[in-house]
Amino acid sequence: MCYTQSRFKALLSACVMSLIATAGWSQSLTWLGTLPGYDTSYANAVSADGAVVVGWAENAAGQKRAFRWTAAGGMQDLGSLGGSYSWAYGVSADGAVVVGEAYNATLRSRAFRWTASGGMQDLGTLPGGYPSAARGVSADGAVVVGWATNAAGHRRAFRWTASGGMQDLGHLGSNNSAARGVSADGAVVVGEAGNAARYQRAFRWTASGGMQDLGDLGGCCSTAYAVSADGAVVVGGASIAGGQSRAFRWTALGGMQDLGTLPGYVYSYAYGVSADGAVVVGTAGQWHALRWTASGGMEDLNTTYASLLTNGSVLREARAISPNGRYIVGWGYNAATNRIEAFLLDTGFPLRGDVDRNGCVDDADLLQVLFAFGERGYRNEDLNWDGTIDDADLLEVLFNFGSGC
């Protein structure tokens, strides 16, 4: 590393007057409401800093519209492609790119990629097919994954880029597949595909290795919903011998690990995973949002954050988690409005600038960023999640120096 001591001192001098030490960390639960004229909402993804949430809202007639939410602007209707329905499923790290599914004027479902400047872009479908849907997007918004039908009418997982268009990722033996998640750099895609026995199996795809069957937990079937930033950890749901579904966490070394379920329940599903693969979120039993870590096991978010819930409110599903593991989004029952609503849970941890996740922003965090300075991001040192470890990440540590210590 060639980052000079003088440059570090200059940065420190520029920021030292702005450093305010704060003890502990705050937690908050924000119910996101719904679109005007709609009565429910569901969140599916969150930006790296927790500032942008995307999902969809539904009215009494069953009409659904994709939304993008910010604290300043509230819930924004992203429109459609000429039809009446749309759903948002993924968002880039900076919150600028949203992907999902929308009806066109002929009532065909199409994958879309939305930006504020370009609006909703129809990504098309595979040659000869007609419906398609996007389910995930890379950190920089350049790679979109999902499913589309081909000329034979088979549903196939796809990987889309502006330069290459929609690429068919194949299958595991019975023609059908669907992609649901993608690594930060867009190189690893996960989802489910039919095998030769026509059972649905979780897969992990790379350009060099193709589509890999991740197996199951003793039952017949499995589905992968999300993947860590580097593509090494895959999470989802798989059937066990008794037929029930269990949340799983897969690695190449350990295979598919059954994460269990909450006490008193037999079902669980994992829908989201932090960038480093250490924190998993999902749902269990009768719609109780969960979080899993290796040290703490599976916990009911309604118990852990009971102080944030008004009497009768329940967090039903945790659908996604921010790269650093701090922000969780999903849907639940808001007793104050007596309806199903999307939520944003700020767990307060890790603190901003806390690279090593020890609850204190200090010299160790500065050193960790310095030693990684100039390297490729999408890891804990990349605090603003822009793909490069640089001055901006150092400043994040400096502005929050002393927090939690």
301 and 364 both lie in a single domain = no
Judged against a pLDDT cut of 50, whether residue 400 lies above it is answered with yes
| pLDDT value for 30 | 98
Instruction: Assess whether pLDDT exceeds 50 at residue 11.
Output: no
d(CA 378, CA 389): 9
Give the end of a domain, one of 359, 382, 397: 359
DSSP letter, residue 11: H
Q: 390 and 348 share a domain?
A: no
Place of tokens 């440059």: 7
Long-range contacts of residues 14-18, Cβ cutoff 8 Å, at least 24 apart: 15/395, 15/398, 15/399, 16/398, 18/398, 18/399
Do 190 and 93 sit in the same domain of this protein?
yes
Buried b (16+ CB within 10 A) or exposed e, 280-291: bbbbbeeebbbb
> Beta-strand (E) ranges in 118-188?
119-122, 132-137, 144-149, 155-161, 165-168, 173-182
* Statement to judge: residues 255 and 381 lie in one domain: no
Range of the domain at 113: 29-359
Domain of 341: which CATH number?
Answer: 2.120.10.30
H-run or E-run covering 15: helix 5-15
Same domain, 115 and 144: yes
219 and 332, same domain (yes or no):
yes
What number is the average pLDDT over the span 286-291?
A: 94
CA distance 151 to 128: 4
Both 346 and 388 in a single domain?
no
Q: Quick one: average pLDDT of 53-72?
A: 96
Per-residue pLDDT tens over the stretch 110-165: 999 999 999 999 999 999 999 999 999 999 999 999 999 999 999 999 999 999 99
User: What is the C-alpha to C-alpha distance for residues 405 and 402, in angstroms, rounded to an integer?
Assistant: 5
- Looking at the fold, whether 286 and 384 belong to one and the same domain comes out as no
Place of tokens 């199951």: 216
Chain centroid to CA 369: how far? 24
**CATH at 401:** 1.10.1330
User: Which residue has tokens 């990349």?
Assistant: 382
Q: What is the structure's pLDDT at 163?
A: 97
Paired tokens of 362: 């200090």
* Residue 330 CB neighbour total at 10 angstroms: 28
User: Does residue 1 surpass a pLDDT of 90?
Assistant: no
Paired residues of 300 in beta bridges: 290
With beta carbons less than 8 A apart as the criterion, state whether 207 and 187 touch.
yes
203 token code pair: 């897969």
Local confidence band at 26 (pLDDT 50, 70, 90 cut-offs): confident
The answer on pLDDT for 10 being more than 80 is no
pLDDT exceeds cutoff 60 at 197? yes
Give the tens place of pLDDT for each residue, 81-114. 999 999 999 999 999 999 999 999 999 999 999 9
Rounded mean pLDDT, 203-227 = 97
Give the pLDDT confidence score for residue 25 in this predicted structure: 56
Give me the number of domains the chain comprises. 2
The arithmetic mean of pLDDT across residues 249-274, rounded, is 97
Are 250 and 367 contained in the same domain? no
Contact 72, 49 (CB under 8 A): no
- pLDDT at residue 13 tops 60: no
Mean pLDDT of the chain: 93
Q: What is the mean pLDDT of residues 66-70?
A: 98
First to last CA, the chain: 28
Cis peptide before 323 (omega within 30 of 0): no
- Is 145 found in the same domain as 51? yes
Note the pLDDT of residue 16. 35
More confidently predicted of 122 and 285: 122
Query: Are both 4 and 75 inside the same structural domain?
Result: no
Beta bridge partners of 290: 282, 300
User: What is the mean predicted confidence (pLDDT) over 356-374?
Assistant: 97
Band of pLDDT at residue 12, cut at 50, 70 and 90 = very low
> Sign of the C-alpha dihedral, residues 150, 153, 157, 162?
positive
User: Are 379 and 337 members of one domain?
Assistant: no
Question: At which residue do the structure tokens 């090593």 appear?
Answer: 356
